[in-house]
Amino acid sequence: MTQDELKAQAAHAALDEIPDGAIVGVGTGSTVNHFIDALAGQRQRIRGAVSSSERSSERLRGHGITVFEAGDVQRLPVYVDGADEIDGRGFMIKGGGAALTREKIVADLAERFVCIVDAGKCVQTLGAFALPVEVITMATAQVARRFEALGGRAVLRAGVLTDNGHPLLDVHGLAIADPLALEIEVNQWPGVVTVGLFARHRASLCLVGSEQGVQRRVF
């Protein structure tokens, strides 16, 4: 199977995690696009969605699914999103699609985070995928120096601004043994909007598309 077929497999399995009548938290990326397309077939069963990006909102609306603002809801039963890497504890690197800040905001509203990935995203230690960090422009060089002091190499993502209008750094060369500690540390640095470590907002369930079928990992 191709990587895209494995993504689609995981995405379809996530439909079983959506309660009837729910407003669903919806992430961003190619795996989530499969989820949105599958959700369209069940749109009568849900009230709508809160989305983590303009791209996902547009796709949801295109399928006739109502998109609510994050401020319209107090709690979501479930948030479904992909990841760039996920480890054996449900900690993730996210932000390859530049939507990390809104992803963390919507994840924070949700009781459960259902992560959908192909098997290639499962790692022992996070960090082979460069860690995305959304920053205020003025702080870019200083935040890059702080990562260098930790042994990382921060590269500005060329030609990309987030939906919030901020630049992104991609930090290479980190082997992240303690994702929770690093997330807390980087969150203290002035000018950091969001670090793409999802440790405080880790997955509760990961659905992994594999040649052997969908594997279900509960955290």
Which residue, among 87, 39, 31, 17, has the nearest Cα to 209 in the 3D structure?
31
Beta bridge partners of 76: 110
Q: How far is the CB of 198 from ligand 5RP (least distance, A)?
A: 9
Q: How far is the CB of 149 from ligand 5RP (least distance, A)?
A: 26
Residue pair 200/194 in contact by the 8 Å Cβ criterion? no
Residues that bind ligand 5RP (CB under 6 A): 27-31, 81-84, 94-100, 103
Which is closer to ligand 5RP, CB of 98 or CB of 135?
A: 98
Residue pair 194/100 in contact by the 8 Å Cβ criterion? yes
Q: How far is the CB of 116 from ligand 5RP (least distance, A)?
A: 8
Look up 103 and say whether it is catalytic: yes
Which is closer to ligand 5RP, CB of 147 or CB of 198?
A: 198
Which is closer to ligand 5RP, CB of 129 or CB of 147?
A: 129
**Given 103, 111, 148, 183, the catalytic residue:** 103
Question: Helices (DSSP H) in the chain: which residue ranges?
Answer: 3-13, 30-40, 54-62, 100-109, 140-149, 179-187
Q: Which residues participate in catalysis according to the annotation?
A: 103
